[in-house]
């Protein structure tokens, strides 16, 4: 099983490695804009929870970016491979387990999400943010990448056109990007919205990364919720891969 | 090699395969002939485990499908109708990926890639992206990929569709040479000349039902070896004869211009189903 996972990751790494430079450069654009607009621009005028807005927002940007990167690293290629290029059939007719394929794709998503997050961490230091990057921080970040890579897989297997995939982004990821404690504290939201965003994984990723980034232990409940979401999406993904047969 | 008994496939209320029973012998090239929508591709997809079946039993090399799917997958090579090479990988990497997925040890894998690229005459393009290849080259690379793990049975779904006649002939030679090396081949086609040139036995499928099975010569004999063809105001007419002299007598009895030719599988298909293969 490990060899099969490695094969799936090997293929994706080969493709990524060919355009690693372009990939890293393109990943720098949005974070730089966020850091300029919310860090230097808006952030210079406000303080949040007794600290600078830049320090508040960097973990949020990391959570948001790793979500989008990991989701799209798996969702778009798997969806295209299933619906248009049919390259997924090469894995289906091979004597490998569905679980190996799904885990391999998730690992590829984690790699892309992590590279992208590293770029942001380095940029945020360049912008003067103070951030502690230790064990808990990496654990939460990797868990966030893993769960959204797994969600990307689930969406790719569920959506039957490129347009539906774009809609998934619009209706699920975009609202989470703005509402889930990325740019502001959810405490000030109206109570119904507050409780709604509290059940979403990105909220827990943002909060846990913020605590870990400020040298505090994140809530175990948040880590547990992220783990729970990841395992749920993983199981759904494996089930979908097994029943893909028409 | 392959035994299929009362195979059924239903999509909702639509029956795509209706109690199909077939037996394919080791070392033969067996052709599934029929128009688009006859169920040929569905049958191949079921045999390669890309689709499930609704009923019936399939045995491949004495292994039950789908119970022993993992073992069966190692015996099969598949070249689908659509070009599904990984366009983001080179020709060499496409074969390497297949070799890894089939757990071929590294040294053997590398040697096999070189052999197969040579065999399908793509050695000089090994480092080029598969997306830059022509249709014929892609098809050859797909055959090489399907052969990487030394399968016992090769499934070819419409292997020459969309290719020009010269490239088609080249692929036929390749398929025949593989068969001479002992490979069992199951191919689907709606090109009559392809079935006649390659297949030792054919089965005609029509609307999910098996109409007839036999050697091309046997099937032609069923309707008569000679065909007289003439044109009337409402279209082309045929009549089949088992004796040439009877065909000539019939031709002489007609006032219009006629053609005498050997019967082909298209005639067999039209006679048995009332439809043309390419309808």
Residues 6+ apart with CB under 8 A from B79: B139, B142, B143, B146, B154, B155, B156, B157, B159
| Domain end among B193, B215, B237 | B215
A10: nearest CB among B82, B100, B102: B100
Within an 8 Å CB–CB cutoff, is residue B100 touching chain A?
A: yes
Pairwise CB contact (< 8 Å): B86 & A93: no
Question: Which residues in A lie closer than 8 A to residue B87 (C-beta atoms)?
Answer: 85
* Residue B87 is assigned to a structural domain of this protein: yes
CA A226/CA A148 separation, integer angstroms:
10
Taking an 8 Å cut-off on Cβ atoms, the answer to whether A93 and B76 are in contact is: yes
Shared domain for B111 and B196, answered yes or no, is yes
Q: What does the alpha-carbon distance between residue B17 and residue B10 come to, in Å, rounded to a whole number?
A: 7
Residue-level pLDDT at A245: 59
> Of B177, B193, B215, which residue sits at a domain end?
B215
Nearest CB to A89: which of B71, B84, B102?
A: B84
Helix (H/G/I), strand (E/B), else coil: B182:
coil
User: What backbone phi and psi angles, to 5 degrees, belong to A105?
Assistant: -65, -40
Say if residue B65 is in the same domain as residue B144: yes
| Residues B207, B146 within the same domain | yes
CB of A87 less than 8 A from some CB of B: yes
Q: Say what the pLDDT of residue A214 is.
A: 87
- Domain assignment of residue B267, yes or no: yes
Chain A residues touching residue B97 (CB < 8 angstroms) = 7, 10-11, 90
Lowest mean pLDDT among A204-218, B28-42, B249-263: B249-263
Q: Using a CB-CB distance cutoff of 8 angstroms, which residues of chain B are in contact with residue A4?
A: 101
* Interface probe, candidates B14, B50, B65, B142, chain A, greatest A C-beta count within 10 A: B50
Q: Average the pLDDT over each of A75-79, A187-191, B54-58, B106-110 and give the range with the smallest value.
A: A187-191
> What total of structural domains would you count in chain B?
2
Instruction: Note whether A94 contacts B: Cβ–Cβ < 8 A.
Output: yes
B127 and B260 inside one domain: no
Is some CB atom of chain A closer than 8 A to the CB atom of B85?
yes
Average pLDDT score, chain B: 89
The answer on B78 and B186 residing in a single domain is yes
Clarify whether residues B157 and B129 are in a common domain: yes
Same domain, B182 and B99: yes
Same domain, B101 and B237: no
Residues B47 and B163 in one domain: yes
Please report residues of B whose CB lies closer than 8 A to that of A101. Answer: none
Give the closest of A3, A92, A95 to B70, CB-based: A95
Residues B48, A94: C-beta atoms closer than 8 Å: no
Does residue B192 sit at the A interface (CB-CB below 8 Å)? no
Q: H helices within B76-215, ranges in order?
A: 91-101, 106-119, 135-147, 165-180, 192-198
Nearest-angstrom CA–CA distance, A214 and A51: 10
CB pair distance less than 8 Å for A85 and B45: no
Q: Which residues of A touch B103 (CB under 8 A)?
A: 3, 95
Identify the closest residue of chain B to A89 by CA–CA distance: B50
Q: Chain A: give the shortest CA distance to residue B28, in Å.
A: 22
Judged by CB atoms closer than 8 Å, whether chains meet at A86 and B80 is answered as yes
Does residue B69 carry a pLDDT above 80? yes
Q: Are residues B232 and B197 in the same domain?
A: no
Chain B nearest C-alpha distance from A93 (Å): 6
Q: Is B215 a residue whose pLDDT tops 80? A: yes
Reply yes or no on whether the pLDDT at B278 is more than 60: no
Give the mutation candidate from B74, B88, B127, B144 for the A interface (greatest A CB count, under 10 A): B88
The DSSP symbol for B129 reads: B
pLDDT attached to residue B276: 59
**Backbone torsion region of residue B10, taken as left when φ is above 0, otherwise alpha when ψ lies between -120 and 50, otherwise beta:** beta
Cis ω before B67 (30° cut-off from 0): no
CATH code of the domain containing B150:
3.40.50.300
Residue that wins the pLDDT comparison between B185 and A188: B185
Tell me whether residue B279 is in a domain.
no
Q: What is the pLDDT of residue B254?
A: 79
Tens-digit pLDDT string for chain A (246 aa): 889 999 999 999 999 999 898 888 888 888 888 888 877 777 777 777 777 888 888 999 999 999 999 999 999 999 999 999 999 999 999 999 999 999 999 999 999 999 999 999 998 898 888 888 888 999 999 999 999 999 999 999 999 998 999 999 899 999 998 888 888 888 888 888 888 899 999 999 999 999 998 888 889 999 999 999 999 999 999 999 988 754
User: In which domain, by residue range, is B39 found?
Assistant: 2-215
Do B132 and B265 lie in a common domain? Answer: no
Domains of chain A, residue spans: 2-242
B117 with B253, same domain: the answer is no
**pLDDT at residue number B245:** 86
Whether B232 maps to a domain, the answer reads yes
Residue B163 placed within a domain: yes
Measured CA distances, B251 to B225, B245, B248, B258 (Å): 15, 10, 5, 6
pTM: 0.88
Interface test with B, best of A93, A108, A244 (most B CBs within 10 A): A93
Q: Rounded CA gap, B150 and B28, in Å?
A: 17
Asked if A85 lies within 8 A of B87 by C-beta distance, the reply is yes
| Chain A neighbors of B60, CB-CB under 8 A | none
pLDDT at B277 over 60: no
What tokens does B112 get? 């096999």
B278 located within any domain: no
| Chain B residues touching A92 at Cβ < 8 A | 49-50
Q: SS3 for A128-187, per residue?
A: CCCCCCCHHHHHHHHHHHHHHHHHHHHHHHHCCCHHHHHHHHHHHHHHHHHHCCCCCCHH
Residues in chain A within 8 Å Cβ distance of B78? 93
Complex ipTM over 0.85: yes
């Amino acid at each position: 099983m490990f060899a099969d996972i490695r094969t799936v990751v090997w293929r994706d790494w080969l493709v990524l490695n060919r355009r690693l430079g372009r990939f890293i450069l393109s990943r720098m654009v949005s974070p730089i804009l966020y850091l300029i607009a919310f860090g230097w621009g808006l952030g210079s005028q406000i303080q949040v929870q007794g600290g600078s807005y830049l320090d508040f927002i960097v973990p949020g940007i990391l959570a948001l970016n790793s979500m989008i990167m990991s989701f799209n690293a798996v969702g778009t290629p798997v969806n295209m491979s299933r619906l248009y290029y049919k390259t997924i059939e090469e894995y289906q007719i091979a004597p490998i387990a569905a679980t190996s394929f799904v885990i391999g794709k998730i690992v590829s998503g984690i790699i892309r999400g992590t590279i992208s997050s590293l770029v942001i961490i380095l940029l945020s230091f360049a912008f003067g943010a103070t951030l502690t990057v230790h064990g808990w921080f990496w654990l939460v970040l990797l868990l966030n990448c893993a769960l959204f890579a797994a969600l990307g897989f689930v969406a790719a297997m569920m959506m039957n056109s490129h347009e539906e995939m774009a809609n998934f982004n619009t209706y699920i990821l975009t609202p989470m990007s703005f509402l889930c404690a990325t740019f502001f504290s959810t405490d000030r939201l109206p109570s119904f919205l507050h409780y709604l965003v509290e059940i979403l994984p990105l909220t827990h990723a943002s909060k846990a990364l913020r605590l870990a980034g400020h040298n505090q232990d994140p809530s175990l409940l948040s880590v547990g919720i992220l783990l729970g979401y990841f395992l749920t999406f993983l199981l759904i993904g494996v089930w979908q891969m097994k029943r893909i047969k028409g | 090699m392959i035994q299929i008994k009362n195979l059924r496939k239903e999509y909702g209320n639509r029956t795509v395969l209706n109690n199909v029973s077939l037996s394919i012998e080791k070392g033969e090239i067996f052709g599934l002939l029929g128009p688009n929508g006859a169920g040929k591709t569905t049958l191949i997809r079921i045999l390669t485990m890309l689709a499930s079946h609704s009923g019936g039993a399939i045995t491949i090399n004495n292994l039950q499908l789908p119970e022993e799917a993992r073992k069966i997958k190692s015996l099969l090579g598949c070249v689908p109708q659509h070009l599904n090479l990984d366009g983001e990988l080179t020709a060499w990497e496409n074969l390497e990926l297949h070799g890894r997925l089939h757990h071929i040890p590294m040294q053997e894998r590398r040697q096999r890639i070189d052999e197969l690229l040579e065999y399908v005459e793509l050695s000089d393009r090994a480092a080029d992206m598969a997306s830059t290849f022509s249709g014929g080259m892609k098809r050859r690379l797909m055959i090489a990929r399907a052969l990487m793990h030394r399968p016992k049975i090769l499934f070819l779904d419409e292997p020459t569709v969309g290719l020009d006649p010269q490239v088609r002939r080249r692929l036929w030679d390749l398929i025949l040479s593989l068969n001479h090396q002992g490979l069992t081949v199951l191919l689907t086609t709606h090109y009559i000349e392809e079935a006649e040139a390659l297949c030792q036995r054919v089965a005609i499928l029509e609307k999910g039902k098996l109409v007839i099975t036999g050697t091309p010569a046997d099937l032609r004999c069923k309707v008569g070896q000679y065909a007289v063809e003439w044109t009337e105001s409402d279209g082309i007419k045929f009549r089949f004869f088992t004796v040439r002299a009877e065909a000539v007598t019939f031709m002489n009895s007609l006032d219009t211009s006629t053609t005498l030719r050997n019967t082909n599988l298209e005639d067999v298909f039209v006679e048995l189903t009332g439809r043309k293969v390419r309808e």
